[in-house]
């Protein structure tokens, strides 16, 4: 079907100038539209992927992926349940963990935080890994030492060495004077920074210090913290015995990731509409070309060109604009992604992330790139289908009647 004659005629018509030169003008701008649409779609998708991956690494790297706990959110000797996950490939590590809402009072300010009680013997915690050696040493050996997010420390106006009062309601007691919350003086030994809102919400204490503050019994904790190889594979966790349940990051942070995913889908949809409009322009330009070339089509048919080959000619013509725009847009999109910061600096645009960096995160996913390219090529082929079919249905006698 696609013989050299059909290829030659299709390419000739793709760049032809006739009485309807406006059709070629529309076709050229359609090619440019597809080029820009594909490049923009690749660029925006790569940047959104980068932001999502950065959020996943920085946020899910510090908050619990999953917590095995009881109905009262207390668990006696949580380490005994680690054997439940020996055969689960998705679980990378586990450790006892305490989590509670607390109030921290500085010299002149009070703020609400989430208190994490950490087992310092476990090296999986990324917050502990990010502490400098001096802070880590103080945190391990100083009784009632506290590590704060930089945002919490800034709001309280405290620096390492200052003392703060930590108050929790979970360990409160009833006295003749009423309900008295549990409170204790802690010494700030250092701060951490993740570039996320965790810096404004979380403070760290040793597991045993947090247990005393909350008046937990010996060996008690909020639950068993699980580190997963992929935090998005919670469904692969094994079923728990009666009386135990899972608490996961999706309950506390799931809406944030859903919002990011929805924003990425909407941005991709808006840019895909640009490609769709360009494909419709190819269709309209080809319809005008077919109308303009009816006499030539009729003469080709009288010379022996059958309907299938006529259809092939105009499929090649329409596909040429789509393939050219798609490939050039694909190359331009990759080039921009690989040199994005240099391009922004050239135009004097500076980007500063929340963590203090000056680079836009870019993540190219091969499967996504192939999907964009193949979808665009398929859309352009489909746009060429109707005009090519219409050209194959031209009747020579009617087309040449007035010639």
Q: Burial, 124: exposed, middle or buried (Cβ in 10 Å; 0-12, 13-18, 19+)? A: middle
**CB count in 10 Å sphere of residue 274:** 16
Any domain includes 242 = no
Domain boundary among 156, 190, 217: 217
- Of the three residues 217, 250, 276, the one that is the final residue of a domain is 217
**pLDDT tens per residue, range 110-152:** 899 999 998 887 777 777 877 888 888 888 888 899 999 899 9
DSSP secondary structure string for all residues of 122-178 = ----HHHHTS-HHHHHHHHHSTTEEEEEHHHHHHHT--TT-EEEEEEEEEEEEETTE
User: Do 285 and 349 fall within a single domain?
Assistant: yes
Query: How confident is the model at residue 355, as a pLDDT?
Result: 40
Map residue 90 onto helix, strand or coil.
coil
Q: Which of the listed ranges 185-199, 289-303, 380-394 does the model predict with the highest average pLDDT?
A: 185-199
Residue 161 domain-assigned (yes or no): yes
Q: Which two structure tokens, joined as six digits, stand for 57?
A: 């690494």
Please state the rounded mean pLDDT for residues 324-346. 86
Is residue 262 domain-shared with residue 372, that is, in the same domain? Answer: yes
Residue 356 is predicted with a pLDDT of: 43
Contact by Cβ (8 Å): 149, 189: no
Confidence of residue 14 (pLDDT cuts 50, 70, 90): low
* Burial class, 327, CB count within 10 angstroms (exposed 0-12 / middle 13-18 / buried 19+): middle
In a domain? residue 297? yes
68 in a domain, yes or no? Answer: no
Q: Does residue 78 fall inside a structural domain?
A: no
pLDDT at residue 177 in the model: 65
Lowest mean pLDDT among 44-58, 220-234, 269-283, 302-316: 302-316
Per residue in 49-91, pLDDT tens? 888 888 887 777 778 888 888 888 888 888 888 888 887 888 8
Q: Which of 159, 184, 217 is the last residue of a domain?
A: 217
In a domain, residue 125? The reply is yes
Nearest to 170 by CA among 221, 106, 118: 221
Structure tokens at 132: 């400098």
Burial profile 288-318: b = 16 or more Cβ within 10 angstroms, e = fewer: bbbebbbeebbebbeeebeeebbbbbbbbbb
The answer to whether 14 touches 320, Cβ cutoff 8 Å, is yes
Domain that holds residue 203: 97-217
pLDDT of residue 164: 92
What is the reported pTM? 0.74
Q: How many domains does the chain have?
A: 2
Both 281 and 333 in a single domain?
Answer: yes
Distance CA 350, CA 290 (A): 49
* Same domain for 386 and 266: yes
Residues 384 and 311 in one domain: yes
């Amino acid at each position: 079907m696609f013989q050299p004659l059909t290829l030659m005629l299709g390419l000739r018509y793709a760049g032809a100038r006739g009485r309807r030169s406006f059709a070629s003008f529309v076709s050229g701008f359609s090619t440019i539209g597809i080029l820009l649409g594909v490049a923009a779609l690749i660029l925006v998708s790569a940047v959104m992927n980068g932001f999502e991956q950065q959020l996943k690494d920085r946020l899910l790297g510090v908050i619990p992926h999953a917590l095995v706990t009881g109905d009262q959110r207390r668990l006696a000797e949580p380490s005994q349940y680690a054997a439940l996950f020996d055969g689960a490939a998705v679980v990378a590590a586990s450790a006892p963990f305490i989590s509670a809402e607390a109030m921290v009072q500085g010299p002149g300010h009070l703020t609400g935080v989430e208190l994490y009680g950490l087992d310092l013997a476990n090296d999986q915690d990324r917050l502990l890994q990010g502490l400098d050696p001096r802070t880590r040493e103080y945190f391990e050996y100083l009784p009632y030492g506290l590590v704060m997010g930089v945002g919490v420390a800034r709001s309280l106006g405290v620096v390492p060495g200052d003392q703060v009062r930590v108050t929790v309601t979970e360990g409160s007691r009833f006295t003749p004077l009423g309900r008295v919350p549990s409170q204790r003086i802690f010494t700030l030994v250092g701060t951490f920074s993740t570039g996320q809102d965790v810096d404004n919400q979380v403070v760290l204490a040793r597991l045993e210090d947090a247990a005393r503050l909350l008046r937990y019994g010996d060996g008690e904790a909020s639950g068993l913290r699980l580190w997963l190889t992929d935090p998005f594979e919670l469904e692969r966790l094994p079923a728990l015995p009666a009386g135990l349940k899972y608490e996961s990051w999706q309950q506390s942070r799931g809406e944030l990731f859903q919002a990011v995913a929805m924003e990425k889908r909407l941005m991709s949809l808006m840019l895909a509409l640009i490609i769709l409009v360009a494909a419709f322009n190819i269709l309209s330009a080809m319809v005008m070309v077919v109308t303009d070339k009816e006499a030539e089509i009729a003469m080709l048919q009288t010379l022996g060109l059958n309907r299938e080959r006529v259809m092939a000619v105009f499929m090649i013509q329409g596909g040429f604009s789509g393939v050219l725009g798609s490939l050039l847009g694909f190359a331009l999109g990759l080039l921009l992604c690989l040199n994005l910061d240099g391009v922004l600096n050239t135009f004097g645009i500076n980007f500063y992330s929340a963590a203090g960096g000056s680079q836009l995160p870019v993540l190219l996913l091969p499967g996504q790139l192939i999907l964009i390219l193949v979808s665009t090529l398929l859309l352009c082929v489909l746009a060429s289908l109707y005009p090519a079919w219409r050209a194959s249905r031209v009747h020579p006698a009617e087309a040449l009647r007035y010639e």
